[in-house]
Chains A and B, each alone.
Chain A
Amino acid sequence: MNRALDAGQSLALRRLLEAGLPLLARPYQHLAQQIGAEEQQVLAQVQQWQQHGLFRRLGLVLNHRALGYTANAMLVLDIPDALIDEVGQRLGREPQVSLCYQRPRRLPQWRYNLFCMVHGRQRERVEAQITALLERHLLSDLPYQILFSTQAFKQCGGRFAPASHGACPHG
């Protein structure tokens, strides 16, 4: 049985993981050396976090824009409160919708309570897809807007560990 990491070591490990695994044959051994631990302790901690649902996923984190997916649309809808769960679940099952969240309205400035992200290579095709999506789900008559992104100023992973500082390393 491995000794568990102490609180300082697990916080340090979380920060290192937020920056990304190194491209070395034994990446966890490299992280372990930086926090004064053994490779097996680090692996056990990462597996435990994974089992406890701390990670949404653990894999390759891609840059859509660099891969040519430059048409990035945020579809926002004003859905009656009584229908939001049903509509959210239905849109969330659509393969082209990568994120689907309910967020609060902020009246009078902001009326929209459902947010969907749709990524693609061409703006026209993304627009057509969204139009078809809304028609299929009988949502075309509800208030909605499509906000395409025009410039990415910063794109990196979320930092949850306190007292981190500086810009994201991968820009």
Chain B
Amino acid sequence: MPVHSLERRLIERFQHGMPVCAEPYREMAQQLDCSQDQLIACLQQMAERGRLSRIGPVFEHRHAGASTLAALAVPAERLQQVAARISQFPEVNHNYAREHHYNLWFVLTGPDRPHLQQVLDELEADTGLTPLDLPMLTAYRIDLGFALAEAP
């Protein structure tokens, strides 16, 4: 699907960082040589179409709390039901089905490690499935943004 040119420029310019000031959208509009109204309308439309999740900080896990990547091996006939249960936990942000024996993968975040352990124990008790608990040990690259041009 084609990405509208202002949208594309917005993504390329501001997914990795945007100004922190009283009127950030005005400053972003100046940088892209459009009006603030055009810029806000474009962001609004991106949000309505689900392309923009939100605007703001992505917190650094190591400073902002605890997180882990967890996986479950769910029998195929239970996958939708277990996935829905997992998504209900407010500590779960990303929750994906993947092609593997471990077929449900999700990220847990919380204020500290004991809190995450409690959630892992609770979801094991709920589902009868033992999660893999794979906290990050070393980050070699932590860039969540992506390059429109470079991606295949």
Instruction: Please report A residues at the B interface, Cβ cutoff 8 Å.
Output: 17-21, 23, 25-29, 39, 43, 46-47, 49-50, 52-64, 66-69, 71-72, 74, 84-85, 88-89, 91-93, 95-104, 106, 109-110, 115, 119-122, 125-126, 128-129, 145, 147-162, 164-171
Contacts and interface: CB of A to CB of B under 8 A. Distances in A.
A57 B64 contact: no
30 contacts: A17-B56, A18-B59, A23-B40, A25-B36, A46-B57, A49-B57, A58-B57, A69-B151, A72-B96, A88-B138, A89-B140, A98-B145, A101-B136, A106-B133, A115-B134, A121-B152, A149-B105, A150-B96, A152-B96, A153-B87, A153-B95, A154-B87, A155-B93, A155-B94, A157-B54, A157-B56, A157-B58, A157-B93, A160-B64, A160-B65
B4 to A, nearest CB: 11
Contacts, number: 275
A129 B144 CA distance: 19
B34 interface: no
When A and B form their complex, which 5 residue pairs have the shortest distance between CB atoms, in order from nearest? A20-B54, A92-B140, A160-B65, A92-B141, A125-B152
Interface of B is mostly: mixed
Contact of A147 (B56, B99, B106): B99
Interface residues of B, number: 83
Contacts of B138: 84-85, 88, 101-102
Interface of B: 1, 3, 10-11, 14-18, 20-26, 36, 40, 43-44, 47, 49-61, 63-65, 67, 69, 71, 83-84, 86-88, 90-100, 102, 105-107, 109-111, 115, 132-147, 150-152
Contact of B23 (A25, A122, A125): A25
